[in-house]
Structure 1
Amino acid sequence: MTAGKTFASDDEMPRKLPQFVSKERNRHGTWVYYFRKGKGKRTRLPAFGTPEFEEAYLAALTGNAVKRRQDHPEKSLGWLIDRYMESAQWGQLSVATRKQRGLIFKEALKTSNPPFSDITKKSIENSMEKRRATPAQANNFHKAMNNMFAWAVKNDHVKVNPCTGVERLTYKTEGFVPWDESDIVRFCLKYPVGTVERLALELLLYSGLRRSDIVHAGKQHLKGSTFSMRTAKTGAQITVEFPQSLIDTIEATKTGELAFITNAFGKPFTKESFGNWFGKRSREAGIFKNAHGVRKLSATTAANGGATAHELMAQYGWTNTKQAETYTKGADRVRLGIKSSRLVAEQIGDIIPRTANPGAGKTPKNQAKTKGGK
C-alpha cells in the first residue's frame, strides 16, 4: 500500500493520507498507520483522526521526538489506559461516556497499577466482587474495562480480553420513573403551544425519541407527516407518523434550521444539556421526573394499545425484542388477566346465590319432583 492511495471501503478515512503515511490492516482487521520517508525507519503512528496522530506525524516529519503521555510506567494498566484514551475509538465515544469511563479508570488506578499483562479473568472477577454493594457501578466498571481490553486485543497489546466470560451482576431496578397522564396535563398547562418546552414534550411523547436523537431531529427528517431518522445509540432506522396536532405545534413554534428543539441562543442542544434543561422545566411545572420517563410513558401507551414487540422495536429503535417485551409482557398480563377473569365469571356466575336465602329465586330439582307427587 502506498501513501496517497484511495481506499473506498474505509469510509471513516480521508481519500488521501498525509505524505509518507501508509496504512495496513493487522491480524484483527484494524487499520494501523506508519510513517516512512524514503528508505528511512518505519514509525508506528497513533490512531488516525486523533490529536496524537497529528503530533506524532509532525514529529516524524521534522525528525523531532514526540512526547507521549507517560504518567504511568510503560506496559502498566495506567499506560494502557493512556494509549486507549489517545485512540480514535475513544474519541468516537460521547462526552458523557468518556467522562464516566475516565472516572472509572481513575478510581481503579487508585488501588493498584499492575502490568496489564498480569490482569486475568480472575482479576476482573475479584474487582467485580469488591463492587458488589453497588452493582450498577460494578457493571459500568466491567463495561469500561471490557471495551478497553477489546481495543487492546485489536491493537496487539494483549492476546486475550480478561473480561470475556465475566458475568455482570444482576439486580432489580425500576429505572427512570415514567410519566403519567396527570404529569402531561400539568406540563401542558404550564407550557402552552408555541413554547419550545411544549414542542419538546410532544416530540418525546409521540415519537418516543431518546435524548441523543431528539436533539438532532429536524424538518429534514419529516416528509408530510412521516418522520424517519437513524438512531444514534443503535443505528436502527425508525419511521413514525406524526399526528396533525404535533405538526401544528411544530408550525407554531420557532425552530432551528436543522433541529426542532433549540436553546435560548437558537442553537441545538447536546443530549446532556437537553436532559438538564428539560428536567429543570419539568420541576418548574411540579414534575420531578426526566425526559426518559416520557419515552417510557410513550412505549407503555403503545403496548397497552396493542402494539406488538416488533412494532415497538420499529418505533423506539430497539434492535432486539428483549426491551420491547418489558412493555408488551406487562400489557399482555393486564389483557390476559381481564380475559381470564371474564371466563371465570361466565362459568360460575350462576352458581353464586344473589339473595340472603340460598334457595330463593331457584327451585332445586329434587324439591320440584316432591311437589309433583311420588
Structure 2
Amino acid sequence: MSTMPKPLPLYVVKEKSRHGRTKLFFRIGKGPRVRLPDDPSSKAFKAAYKTAMKGEQVEATIIVERVRSLRWLVQRYMESAEWSGLAIATRKQRGLFYRQVVDASGNVDCRTVTARDIRNGLERRKATPALANNFLKSMSALFKWALVHEHVGVDPTTGVKRLKNKSDGFPAWTDEDVKRFTNHWPIGTRERLAFEMLLTSGFRRSDIVRVGRQHMTQAVVRIRTAKTGTPVTVELSDRVLDLIEETQTGDLSIIVGKKGMPLTKESFGNWFREVCRAAGVQKSAHGLRKLSATIAANAGATTHQLMAQFGWVTTQQAEVYTKGADRERLGIVTSRLVSEQIELITAPHPEKGAGIDGKNRSKSNR
C-alpha cells in the first residue's frame, strides 16, 4: 500500500531543471527565489530554510552540492529508477542511514571512500549488530548502483564482512504459545483467523494484509511477496477455508480492521502484538512465521520447498530450518546407534558351558 509523500514546508516550491534534476527553492509570492538543498530532511536544508524564513541571505556553502560528493551521489541514487522500485519501508530505512552519512561526511568525494571507512561505520554500530549489518547492506546498494553507472571506479563495500549476530531475532512460537492463543481467541474472531492464516501460509505481515479472494483459486493462494517480488503459492486447508467463511473479512483483503477496512503492515503488526499480549503470548507475527517454517522443516520439507512457500530467494535462510531439522533427526538416530553399541558392550557375557564356547563350537562344526 503506497503512502502520500510528505508535503514541502511553507513557501518551498519544486522545479525541474532542463536536465531533469529536481531542485527546491524558497519563494514568498513573487519575491526572489532562494535555492535550497535538495533533501528536505537534511540538516543543511533545515538550516537554509530557517535562514530564508528570517529574510536573511542563505550562505552559498549551505546549498552548494559538490559533484561526486557523497551528498551528490545519494541524491542521484534517490532520483534513480532503482530507488523508486524499492519498498517504502526499505527506502525509509536506507534513507536514515544515508542522512547520517551525508550529515557526517556529505562533502567527501564518493570516489575516495574506502573499505576501511565502511568497516569504521560498522564498528560505530557494533552495539547493535543487526543495525550495523543493515547499514552495510544500505551502503552496498548505494555503491553497487554507483559502480554500474560509472560514478565510482571501485565498490568499497566489496569484501567487508557482516558482523556476527548472536541473536536469533524474533523468537519462534512454542506449542504452549499456540495453546494459549487458541484457548483465548475462539473460532469466528478476526484474531483467530489472522493466527490461522499466518501459521498455515507462513506469510510475512506485508503479505498477509494484502491477501484477498482475488489471489485465490479455490484453496490455492498465489501472490508476489511485497518484500522481494517473489511469487509464492500455498494451499489453504479446508479448516482455514471454513474459518474464512465464518469470520468477518473484507472484499480485497481477508484480514481487516474492526471497521472492515484493510490494514497496513505496521498497523497489523501493532494490532497482532496486542492480541498476543491479551492471550498471554509474548511473541509476534514474525515469530509465528518462524514456527510455520520449523513445522515444515521438521516434517521433511526440502530447502527448495521452503523457498517456494516462504518466498526466500536464496537457500541460506531456508537452510537455517532444514539444517536444524536434519541435525535433530540425525542426532536422534545417532544416539540410538550409540545406545545399541553400549548395550552390546555392557551386556553380561554367558558363563562357560551355558552357551556356545570353543569346545561346543568345534563339535558343531563336525
Task: Write the distance in 2 (CA, Å) between the matches of 1:43 and 1:66.
Answer: 16
Q: TM-score, normalised by structure 1?
A: 0.74
Task: Write the distance in 2 (CA, Å) between the matches of 1:255 and 1:233.
Answer: 24
Matches within 5 A, 1:129-144: 129-144=123-138
Contact 1:225 1:241 in 2 (8 A): yes
SS of equivalent residue, structure 1 residue 240:
strand
In the comparison of the two structures, how many residue pairs are matched? 314
SS of equivalent residue, structure 1 residue 228:
strand
Q: Does 1:73 align with 2:50?
A: no
SS of equivalent residue, structure 2 residue 19:
strand
Q: In the alignment, residue 118 of structure 1 is paired with which amino acid?
A: T
Aligned to 1:185: 179
Q: In the alignment, residue 103 of structure 1 is paired with which amino acid?
A: L
Alignment partner for residue 93 of structure 1, among 86, 90, 110?
Answer: 86
Task: Write the distance in 2 (CA, Å) between the matches of 1:80 and 1:350.
Answer: 71
Contact 1:256 1:268 in 2 (8 A): yes
Task: Write the distance in 2 (CA, Å) between the matches of 1:278 and 1:364.
Answer: 69
Aligned to 2:118: 124
Distance 1:286 1:151, change over 3 A: same
Q: In the alignment, residue 78 of structure 1 is paired with which amino acid?
A: R
Aligned to 1:194: 188
Q: Does 1:247 align with 2:241?
A: yes
Q: Does 1:43 align with 2:18?
A: yes
Contact 2:37 2:64 in 1 (8 A): no
Alignment partner for residue 111 of structure 1, among 88, 104, 113?
Answer: 104
The offset of 1:125, in angstroms, is 2.7
The offset of 1:255, in angstroms, is 1.0
The offset of 1:191, in angstroms, is 1.4
Task: Write the distance in 1 (CA, Å) between the matches of 2:284 and 2:291.
Answer: 11
Contact 2:87 2:226 in 1 (8 A): no
The offset of 1:200, in angstroms, is 0.7
Q: In the alignment, residue 179 of structure 1 is paired with which amino acid?
A: W
Aligned to 1:274: 268
Contact 1:73 1:79 in 2 (8 A): no
Aligned to 1:337: 331
Q: TM-score, normalised by structure 2?
A: 0.75
Task: Write the distance in 2 (CA, Å) between the matches of 1:282 and 1:368.
Answer: 74
Q: What is the Cα-based RMSD across aligned positions, in Å?
A: 3.1
Q: Does 1:174 align with 2:168?
A: yes
Task: Write the distance in 1 (CA, Å) between the matches of 2:271 and 2:124.
Answer: 36
Structure 1 unmatched ranges of 5 or more: 1-34, 36-41, 47-51, 57-63, 370-374
Q: In the alignment, residue 206 of structure 1 is paired with which amino acid?
A: T
Task: Write the distance in 2 (CA, Å) between the matches of 1:335 and 1:291.
Answer: 27
The offset of 1:159, in angstroms, is 4.1
Distance 1:341 1:127, change over 3 A: closer
Task: Write the distance in 2 (CA, Å) between the matches of 1:165 and 1:127.
Answer: 15
Distance 1:181 1:73, change over 3 A: same
Task: Write the distance in 2 (CA, Å) between the matches of 1:347 and 1:202.
Answer: 45
The offset of 1:218, in angstroms, is 1.0
SS of equivalent residue, structure 1 residue 93:
coil
The offset of 1:130, in angstroms, is 3.2
Task: Write the distance in 1 (CA, Å) between the matches of 2:338 and 2:148.
Answer: 61
The offset of 1:162, in angstroms, is 2.7
Distance 1:352 1:121, change over 3 A: closer
Task: Write the distance in 1 (CA, Å) between the matches of 2:119 and 2:315.
Answer: 29
The offset of 1:134, in angstroms, is 3.1
Deviates more, 1:308-317 or 1:336-345: 336-345
Task: Write the distance in 1 (CA, Å) between the matches of 2:65 and 2:146.
Answer: 14
Aligned to 1:237: 231
SS of equivalent residue, structure 1 residue 101:
helix
Deviation string 1:292-346 (CA, Å, 9 cap, x unpaired) is 1001101101111111112111111122222111111111112112222333344
Contact 2:206 2:265 in 1 (8 A): yes
The offset of 1:367, in angstroms, is 11
Task: Write the distance in 1 (CA, Å) between the matches of 2:118 and 2:338.
Answer: 53
Q: Percent identity, please.
A: 49
The offset of 1:244, in angstroms, is 0.8
Q: In the alignment, residue 74 of structure 2 is paired with which amino acid?
A: I
Distance 1:231 1:351, change over 3 A: same
Q: Does 1:216 align with 2:185?
A: no
Deviation string 1:31-74 (CA, Å, 9 cap, x unpaired) is xxxx9xxxxxx92114xxxxx49x99xxxxxxx99976274531
Contact 2:199 2:289 in 1 (8 A): yes
Distance 1:79 1:124, change over 3 A: same
Task: Write the distance in 2 (CA, Å) between the matches of 1:271 and 1:160.
Answer: 37
Deviation string 1:337-362 (CA, Å, 9 cap, x unpaired) is 222233334444344348xxx879x9
Task: Write the distance in 1 (CA, Å) between the matches of 2:79 and 2:35.
Answer: 14
Task: Write the distance in 2 (CA, Å) between the matches of 1:166 and 1:79.
Answer: 24
Aligned to 1:309: 303
Deviation string 1:4-55 (CA, Å, 9 cap, x unpaired) is xxxxxxxxxxxxxxxxxxxxxxxxxxxxxxx9xxxxxx92114xxxxx49x9
Deviates more, 1:71-80 or 1:266-275: 71-80
